[in-house]
């Protein structure tokens, strides 16, 4: 799951899925990292690149 709030990260963790955070949204990157995000993307290009790598 991809989210921009700590609530998104918490929901993903409770659901047992990977929590990917984007650092250009509501909550700052450090809060998302502290919430337990598995991945933190600071630019949309990084998110796209990571997703493409997984799908290759």
Domain span at residue 51 reads 2-55
When computed from its CA atoms, the radius of gyration of the chain, rounded to whole angstroms, is 11
4-46: pLDDT as tens digits:
999 999 999 999 999 999 999 999 999 999 999 999 999 999 9
The pLDDT of residue 12 is: 99
The pLDDT of residue 37 is: 99
The pLDDT of residue 9 is: 99
Q: What is the mean pLDDT of residues 47-53?
A: 98
Cβ contact 19:36 at 8 Å: yes
Looking at the structure of the chain, the number of domains it has is 1
């Amino acid at each position: 799951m991809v989210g921009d709030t700590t609530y998104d990260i918490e929901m993903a963790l409770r659901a047992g899925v990977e929590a990917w955070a984007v650092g250009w949204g509501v909550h700052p990157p450090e809060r998302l990292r502290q919430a337990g995000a598995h991945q933190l993307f600071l630019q949309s290009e990084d998110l796209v690149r990571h997703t493409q790598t997984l799908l290759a």
